Structure 1
């Protein structure tokens, strides 16, 4: 296959269970693009085709510089759908990690940009579900600056569920515990993933070793990642605190939103400690009885004082 529509294919840059991504050239507009093609073994599944194309529609609808943009959509002669999107000329954060040590300022800056991209996604009601260094791409803007953009939208997971595949999809080492367990999760799962990615950019490896969903779900709620200082990094203590909160086992203890996480990262780079997470206090029956007893005691005390004053006056 040399061409997809008017797009000349140059090299294959990504292969997954459901699609292949090619670096290509639009000779008519003289620009580089990326072309994503559904795998031929899923072409006849209407539900799979629908989910594949829904990713293109969501990306097109969002149309934000933080999210990979879609320019065109079509179908090959053999029936496989494809869509054309931004080409990331600087590769992914995975590739950036392979190049060597990433300075603290650069790594945290990527974390901020990833959180900002996810904030855009969440505003459109979409939870990514598969934020990894491989889905965070780097591309050069017209002004020459390298910008991080979010790709994939976690559609591989949705496709896996739709197809009935039993193997775990996604990357366990970047996955929030509640998501790995299959229980209800929300945008705070993406907050966890950004924390895990940023930690990996700083230290060279994810915060927790995990090769399966079981590794994630069996990890105790009080297990913490090795601190940045213990890992030999000269980073502000405040950054460590932000990561610890973002990577909390309990979503209630994490940052409420990706926007809040980005803000905390910026503040932490100034050496300012972030606000602690709210404490969740559970009222037990004994605690309730204690409050009732205290209230009754106060009532009795005031009644006694009133009666004594009455006798004195009388």
Structure 2
């Protein structure tokens, strides 16, 4: 068949039903990738058609199928989404349907721009480790194929992992010999420790412009050559020594442990703003690289030894644990090519003819086509990584509803954004006796207001400023927004804005914010709440409005905005 003027070969002429192909994106040993559009929802996706060699390997397909079920549930800003694994009943065709992400691979960035510098390199490594840690938490402990081609840099400078272990077990050294840990050359299975070795080798390349080891006998170099840490900035050498340790037992115990060491080294060397600066530099490099042609794929190098054969368990199965997270890297040339579009629309697949079947049951989204559960989870995850922000909030409408607040919010450490209401340092005002703006602090279940030169404390009971503060903290919380999304019976996407409706009966049962919606319904007589939420490229809230009642007439409305996510405010109870 022909796509966009280019010839594209698919196995036995089969294509995934319900999609219109637009153009080929590329491919490798695992198969070819095309850009496609869902005929039902008009959502762009990337589809990888598995190569014939993998189709013929029934062990591969069985493990692939099981891994796809797990990974289709993984939602993380540092991992590209896998939507579905589709197969023909006769085994002559199989394909992965994935999220389409427009951006630039790290391989492209390094080929076009050279070394990224210490701050950008640290930011890249941090994002990579976050992706590995999230995958491990969800039951996917091994990537198995980390290299610059499998790390995506978007317009915000975020690193996103792609292609979780599409390489067969025992062959992990072949696609990326410069990043393969010593034990892989000896026939060992891929592990979390080999992932950390590969991530460190990529980090080294970001710092120096080349991998730590290169030559004809890569196996010997990885096993025996001294770690060339002298070429790395002094404050970062210890990270390189840890990650590239020959003995896997001497590497960090996990991605989380490595992240802790990275944070300590980065703050000590470059100050607390290192991450924001590094992300900005990565975004700049990616934008410049996107304007240049995609570099040619490197030719496979001989390892100087026989191919590795995976050790087998009794019964013929490989002892390597299989994981898979599919990749779609779409590099766009021209002005604006560095823009990242994260398409998280309807995952519902159209009814397929009898020639194909889906291995992953797809939930039915509400009217409007957007599945709210993964969206709310993604917001939680994104905001949990940004522990504070500046905010502005205003309530208007009938029935004694007016209230406003502006200042800084801080999220509880170590939990989901929706797990608890945040703390605040703000200027607060309401109606009646609480109309005058005052300085206030909210910490857990206590409210503090500045009266003259003193702070006074009270619980969130009664009238006046405590009641206004309670309204502001509930309405402006991320928990409010995710409650609206999870309760939605209609949810549609328009650019970066999600619009929907949620029944009061469901919202009134939501943790923390339920009583607020019960009061709104009682005051206005409505049974449904309308809302709109705008998100940034990292799935953090930017603006929102919520309305109970008609646009004109008896209603209550909440509006808010957030800026500078990532602040770490020190909000403490005043003395």
**TM superposition score normalised by structure 1:** 0.71
Residue equivalent to 2:93: 80
Task: Select which of 208, 212, 232 maps to 1:207.
Answer: 212
Residue equivalent to 1:66: 78
Residue equivalent to 1:127: 142
Per-residue CA distance 1:252-299 (angstroms, 9 max, x = gap): 2221111121222222122359xxxxxxxxxxxxxxxxxxxxxxxxxx
Matched, 1:260 2:257: yes
SS in 1 for 2:96: strand
SS in 2 for 1:261: helix
SS in 2 for 1:14: strand
Aligned partners of 2:142 and 2:191 also within 8 Å: yes
The structural deviation recorded for 1:174 is: 0.5
The structural deviation recorded for 1:211 is: 5.3
Aligned partners of 1:246 and 1:254 also within 8 Å: yes
Q: Provide the rounded CA distance (Å) in 2 between the counterparts of 1:37 and 1:12.
A: 11
Q: Provide the rounded CA distance (Å) in 2 between the counterparts of 1:147 and 1:215.
A: 34
Aligned partners of 1:22 and 1:36 also within 8 Å: yes
Per-residue CA distance 1:33-91 (angstroms, 9 max, x = gap): 21111113543443233234344323213232322212233236983111211223113
- Taking a change above 3 Å as real, the CA distance of residues 212 and 92 of structure 1, as seen in their structure-2 partners, is farther
SS in 2 for 1:208: coil
Aligned partners of 1:89 and 1:138 also within 8 Å: no
Residue equivalent to 1:183: 188
Residue equivalent to 2:373: none
Matched, 1:21 2:26: no
SS in 2 for 1:25: strand
Residue equivalent to 2:231: 228
Residue equivalent to 1:49: 61
Aligned partners of 1:157 and 1:170 also within 8 Å: no
**TM superposition score normalised by structure 2:** 0.41
Residue equivalent to 2:102: 89
RMSD of aligned C-alpha atoms? 2.8
Task: Describe how 1:86-125 pairs up with structure 2 within 5 A.
Answer: 86-101=99-114, 102-123=116-137, 124-125=139-140
Task: Describe how 1:298-309 pairs up with structure 2 within 5 A.
Answer: none
Aligned partners of 1:66 and 1:148 also within 8 Å: yes
Q: Provide the rounded CA distance (Å) in 2 between the counterparts of 1:106 and 1:167.
A: 27
Q: Provide the rounded CA distance (Å) in 2 between the counterparts of 1:150 and 1:85.
A: 13
Aligned partners of 2:229 and 2:240 also within 8 Å: no
Q: Provide the rounded CA distance (Å) in 2 between the counterparts of 1:66 and 1:112.
A: 10
Aligned partners of 1:32 and 1:87 also within 8 Å: yes
- Taking a change above 3 Å as real, the CA distance of residues 211 and 150 of structure 1, as seen in their structure-2 partners, is farther
The structural deviation recorded for 1:95 is: 1.0
The structural deviation recorded for 1:4 is: 3.5
SS in 2 for 1:155: coil
More strand by share: 2
Residue equivalent to 1:11: 23
Task: Select which of 235, 241, 251 maps to 1:238.
Answer: 235
Q: Provide the rounded CA distance (Å) in 2 between the counterparts of 1:60 and 1:168.
A: 26
Q: Provide the rounded CA distance (Å) in 1 between the counterparts of 2:231 and 2:219.
A: 26
Matched, 1:137 2:152: yes
SS in 1 for 2:167: helix
Per-residue CA distance 1:2-43 (angstroms, 9 max, x = gap): 564233333333322232222333354333321111113543
Matched, 1:32 2:44: yes
Matched, 1:247 2:247: no
Comparing 201-210 with 23-32, greater Cα deviation is found at: 23-32
Unaligned regions of 5+ residues in structure 1, if any? 230-234, 274-314
SS in 1 for 2:239: helix
The number of residue pairs the alignment matches comes to 255
